Amino acid sequence: MKASTTGSRLIGLTLLALLLFLPPILLLFDRPGHSGLSILPFYIFIAWLGIIALAAWILERDHEN
Amino acid sequence: MRTELVSLAFAFGYLAILFLIAAWGDKRSEQGRSIINSPLVYTLSIAVYCTAWTFYGSVGRAAETGPSFLLIYLGPTLAMLLGWFMIRKMVRIARAQKITSIADFISARYGKSVRLGVLVTLIAVIGIMPYIALQLKAITFSHAVLTGYPTPPIQTLAQETFWLDKSLWVALVLAIFIILFGTRHLDASERHEGMVAAIAFESIIKLMAFLILGFFVVFWLYQGPLDLFSQAAARPDLVGSLGLSAVPGQALGWVGTLVLATLAFITLPRQFQVLVVENVDERHIKRASWTFPLYLVAINLFVIPVALAGLLLGPAAQEPDSFVLTLPLAAGLELLPLIVFIGGLSAATGMVIVETIALSTMVSNHLVMPLLLRWNWLHLDPGRNLSGWLLGIRRVAIILILLLGYLYHALIGDSYSLVTIGLVSFAAAAQFAPALLLGLYWRGANGKGAAAGLIGGFLVWAYTLLLPGFVQSGWLAPGLIEAGPWGVAWLKPYALFGLEGWDIYTHALFWSMLVNVGLLAGVSLFTRQSRLEQTQAALFTEALRPDVMQTPLWLGQTTRGELYQLLNRYLGQAATHRVFERHDGRQSSNARDESIAPPGLITQAEQALTGALGSASARVLINSVVRGEALDLEAVLSILDTTTQTLEYNRRLEQKSAELARIGEELRAANERLRELDRLKDEFVAMVSHELRTPLTSIRAFAEILRDSPDIMVEQKNHFLGVIVKESERLSRLIEEILDLARLESGRMRLNPQVVNLSQLARDSTDAITQLYEERQVTLKLRLPDQEAWVMADPDRLQQVIINLLDNASKFADSTRGEVLMQLEAHGKNWQLAVEDNGNGIAEEEREKVFEKFHQIQQQGQTPSGRPRGTGLGLPISRGIIAHLGGRLWVEGPHFLSGARLVIELPKLQAPHETQM
């Protein structure tokens, strides 16, 4: 039972990562910040770290059981 | 410090450290204390993904195409998120079937096909060779920048002779390294622990080097990231450099490259090697699923700052691919460029080592072995031992691959920039993805489809990426790209069928995948699988099910001797002994053993051969000695198909058996209870018989005396007759009571409950018993309330109980000054009627026993002379009646006198008038 929960969560997380890393959500962040440079790379790094943190949370919680 | 000698000393010193670490890792492995058995080392070994292409090329790519370099690392992040399903499945299959490379994996999946093994190996060699060349080129190039700065590397290199090219010497050192640590044993499925340890170490070095450089650029050259970004923003030509507009193909190119990187991460031969073949414990995948993406974030953190700093530096920074070196060189630093150079060297060598091991295994097992096996049958003496040969072939393959890589770099390497080769290689490796991934999840995919898909996809790849690359290198006329071959516009390699405006990689990926997946699916749907394919397909797709991989059974026959000879020939004596020992637990066979080999032994022998030669060749060899039906495919397939049903049945059976156990428990409890009741019944019958016999005996005795002695005195006669009457009364009373008890216990006692004044009833009862008390000289005191005590009861039965209690009390009261107290009082919602005597009382532990049938209290020291004995049924009956009336009857210690106190408790009726209605 436990394993399938982790599996569903991982699939959900992968879909979330796809949503965040692909247009059209991606296009929302492709605009200049106040320095004039595009904030796209910053957005990607933050989304990336968020996905990793969620993955760590899902997988390590399962690990303890 | 930038002299030739120092940089060479650093470079070869670094390689020497690699040798030491690898030797240490192998030694620890032999001692059984593996150092690579940790999720961290596994993560670092996967980081071989970050090659010189990452180390130098990411900055170059960021400088030219903005954030698109990130896609190369977002793809693996996506793949790792699914690693717990996909990679774990591959690891499990590879372990069970002793698979040693991606060519072996695909060949094994499609029925251990020789043809597919050859195909995958050829595509890998053609597609990946430039990538190895790229790493060697990076070493040469970075060394030229390091020693020649500020002279551009092209000029520095132009002065060098062929033999002085550093990458040639690095390649030779690496060849020695790989031969030493990559071909120690023939069985390629045994892990290369020393090699993996060295790779993990290299991953630390390249990350550290890049982070140090990043800190230097951001905090030394500039006052932190804000300073750097604001300076970059001030340059109009850099303003758009970080947006999607800088990415080739924009949004579509973005998606295409992401898909490409995701697929390539799994299908690149070196990634397959570290992810699957070198995996020690499948639980490591779980940790690596998030630590490896974290590594990727870390190594990419400073790419954009370094790229911007390089662009800001202007011409002094030279080519974008060498910004990482030229930035510290331009600042006049000595040590930092060396550290960066070593970092780049570690990235390049790590890739070359793993890729060469993977490719050489594929070449020796899937190209050379099948050829050798055919050739061998024609020419070689069958008794000859070939195990030494096999290692030799693999070593020659290693040297050839490295030399080819070097020649590729030395002769034609200048024609591509770093990034271009990388993505072209990725696109070639991605052609394995449909056969690999569909094969993992779709049982119907077959070998013909896979071969058609691979060939089709590879041809499209060659046409859309490789051929135009040749044009750009100047080997073919540029008209091919601009006008299409023979001027046919819809055949233009970068705009096939008029599909224009896409970036070249997305374009190539789309067409090659369309052809590849289309052929794989289409051909699979319209052709049949061979029996062996069916089995393998089932084993692969169901790999995550427990115990599935142990199913294959050999039904063919061969002798142990033949098997022994075969293994001995290809694996050598030591390995052969190990296989036989593992199976038998002892060394028992030799070449002349004529006994039949058991199926398990044949399976193990095939696996041992697979580990060394690849599954296709192992299959051919085993078939050469095994006669008759080889595998019971029907059995395996039906086992697999029925496994699901069996699991379901098992689950239901478990439920049923749990239920049965519970019912059994209940039955046992009920049985216990019945036995107990049976025992009680027997006791009861015995007691009743006994009680009935006593009066009967005396009646009979006196009656006999009267019959036999006609001359008996009248007084005596009367006395005897009195006894007979009394005993008869006792007998009838006893029978009456037994009947009462039987009615009570069977629940057939009829009660006529009505509203009764308990106070009045108690008084009436005393009237009925006054005569008896006088006879026994016992004083009876009453403490009854003035008010009426209404209860719901059957008056006759309740009176019977009260009289019984009073009778008992008089029997057990003090024999000389007998005294009995009857008291009625309200107690909460109940009325309590207590009868207390001044006898000896009842001991605490005896108090419940008096309610047992036929229980007689032992009257210590005195016999109840003149007082009739009870039947021992009065109290049980009384308690039964009171319980029927909804009340309680119990014994407690004396309150006012010294003896026992029996209490009847009945619920109060609050409004008697209303209840009467």
Report the alpha-carbon distance of residue B269 to residue B104 in Å, rounded.
Answer: 11
- Measure the CA–CA gap between B422 and B416, rounded to whole angstroms: 10
Instruction: Give the closest of B78, B229, B244 to A30, CB-based.
Output: B244
* Mean pLDDT (whole number) for B460-487: 80
Asked if the Cβ–Cβ distance from B67 to A41 is below 8 Å, we say yes
Q: What is the CA radius of gyration of chain B?
A: 50
- Confidence label for B636 from pLDDT (cuts 50, 70 and 90): low
Residue of B nearest to A54 (CA): B290
Res B863: pLDDT: 43
Contact yes or no for B806/B796 (Cβ under 8 A): no
For residues B85-111, give the mean pLDDT.
90
Cβ distance B112 to B536 under 8 Å? yes
Q: What is the CATH number of domain B750-916?
A: 3.30.565.10
More confident of the two residues B903 and B388 = B903
State yes or no: pLDDT of B624 exceeds 60. Answer: yes
Q: How many residues does chain A have?
A: 65
Out of A14, A45, A63, name the one closest to residue B286 (CB): A63
Q: Average the pLDDT over B113-130 and give the result.
A: 91
Q: Residue B865 — very low, low, confident or very high, per pLDDT cuts 50/70/90?
A: very low
Cβ <8 Å between B293 and A13: no
CATH class of domain segment(s) B643-745 = mainly alpha
Contacts of B545 in chain A (CB under 8 A): none
Comparing CB atoms, the residue among A31, A37, A40 nearest residue B239 is: A37
Taking contacts as CB-CB distances below 8 angstroms, the residues of chain B near A48 are 74, 77, 293, 297
State the pTM of this model. Answer: 0.69
In 3D space, the residue among B149, B104, B725 whose CA is nearest the CA of residue B363 turns out to be: B104
Write the burial class of residue B328 (CB in 10 Å: 0-12 exposed, 13-18 middle, 19+ buried): buried
* CA distance linking residue B29 with residue B460, whole number of Å: 45
What's the pLDDT score for residue B480? 77
Q: Per the structure block, which two tokens stand in for B671?
A: 């049985």
| Contacts B233 to A, Cβ<8 Å | 35-37
ipTM of this predicted complex? 0.94
Mean pLDDT value of segment B635-650: 66
Q: Do B244 and A38 touch (CB under 8 A)?
A: yes
Closest partner CB to A14 (pick from B70, B81, B242): B81
Note the pLDDT tens digit of each residue in B657-703.
999 999 999 999 999 989 988 887 888 788 788 878 888 888 888 88
The pLDDT score that the predictor gives to residue B568 is 81
Q: pLDDT value at position B43?
A: 94
- What is the mean predicted confidence (pLDDT) over B48-62? 89
Does B297 sit within 8 Å of A45, measured CB to CB? yes
* Amino acid identity, position B13: G
Mean pLDDT, range B160-170, rounded to an integer: 70
3-state secondary structure of B890: strand
Lowest mean pLDDT among B152-156, B344-348, B483-487, B768-772: B152-156
Task: Give the per-residue pLDDT at B866.
Answer: 42
Q: Specify the higher pLDDT residue, B58 or B383.
A: B58
CB contact under 8 A, A59 and B233: no
A6–B294: do the CB atoms touch at under 8 Å?
Answer: no
pLDDT at position B855 is: 67
Cβ contacts (< 8 Å) between B258 and chain A: which residues?
21-22
The pLDDT value recorded for residue B556 is: 66
Q: What is the separation of C-alpha B834 from the centre of its chain, rounded to a whole number of angstroms? A: 70
CB B77 to CB A36 under 8 A? no
Nearest-Cα distance to chain B for A40, in Å, is 6
Collapsing DSSP to helix, strand or coil, B305 comes out as: helix
- Residue B910: its pLDDT value, please? 72
> Over 50: is that where the pLDDT of B861 sits?
no
Establish if B243 touches chain A: CB-CB under 8 angstroms. Answer: yes
Length of chain B: 917
* Pair B627, B557: CB distance under 8 Å: yes
Contact of B189 with chain A, judged by CB distance below 8 Å, is answered with no
Q: Is the pLDDT of residue B630 over 60?
A: no
What are the tokens at B791? 């209860």
The pLDDT assigned to B784 comes to: 85
User: Do A37 and B229 lie within an 8 Å CB cutoff?
Assistant: yes
Report, as an integer, the average pLDDT of B282-298. 93
At residue B730, the pLDDT reads 83
Q: Residue B258 — very low, low, confident or very high, per pLDDT cuts 50/70/90?
A: very high
Interchain proximity B290–A35, CB inside 8 Å? no
Compare CB distances from A36 to B66, B81, B239 and report the shortest one's residue: B239
- E strand map for B262-332: none
User: Looking at the predicted structure, is the pLDDT value of residue B197 above 80?
Assistant: yes
Whether the pLDDT of residue B162 is over 70: the answer is no
pLDDT at B1 (0 to 100): 44
Instruction: Of B507-511, B619-623, B715-719, give the lowest mean pLDDT range.
Output: B619-623
Query: What span, in angstroms and rounded, lies between the C-alpha atoms of B364 and B843?
Result: 98
As a whole number of angstroms, the distance between CA B592 and CA B536 comes to: 33
Minimal-distance CA residue of chain B relative to A10: B81
- Between CA B462 and CA B416 the distance in angstroms is 16
Sign of the four-CA dihedral B213, B216, B218, B224: positive
HSE-CB for B799 with a 13 A CA cutoff:
15
B785 prior amide bond cis, ω within 30: no
The verdict on whether omega for the bond into residue A24 sits within 30 degrees of 0, i.e. cis, is yes
CB nearest B294 (choices: A17, A26, A52) = A52
| Interchain contact, A37 vs B251, CB within 8 Å | no
Q: Are B620 and B112 in contact (CB under 8 A)?
A: no
Domain ranges for chain A, please list them: 2-64
Residue B490: its pLDDT value, please?
Answer: 81
Residue boundaries of the structural domains of chain B: 4-376+385-430, 552-631, 643-745, 750-916
Q: What DSSP element (H or E) covers B822?
A: strand B818-827
Contact B70, B312 (CB under 8 A): no
Residue A64 scores a pLDDT above 80: no
The number of angstroms, rounded, from the C-alpha of B187 to the middle of its chain's C-alpha atoms is 29
Give dist(CA B340, CA B730) in Å, integer. 118
pLDDT tens-digit map of B330-386: 888 888 999 999 999 999 999 999 999 899 989 988 888 888 777 765 455 555 667
Interface residue B78 vs chain A (CB under 8 A): yes
CB contacts of A26 in chain B (<8 Å) are 244, 251, 254
User: Per-residue pLDDT for B628 more than 60?
Assistant: no
Mean pLDDT of B554-577: 78
- Cβ neighbours for B34, distance < 8 A, ≥ 6 positions apart: B28, B193, B280
Mean pLDDT along residues B586-614 = 75
pLDDT band (50, 70, 90) for residue B7: confident
Q: How many CB pairs under 8 A join A and B?
A: 96
Residue B239 CB burial class (10 angstroms; 0-12, 13-18, ≥19): middle
Under CATH, domain B4-376+385-430 is a member of which superfamily?
Sodium/glucose cotransporter (1.20.1730.10)
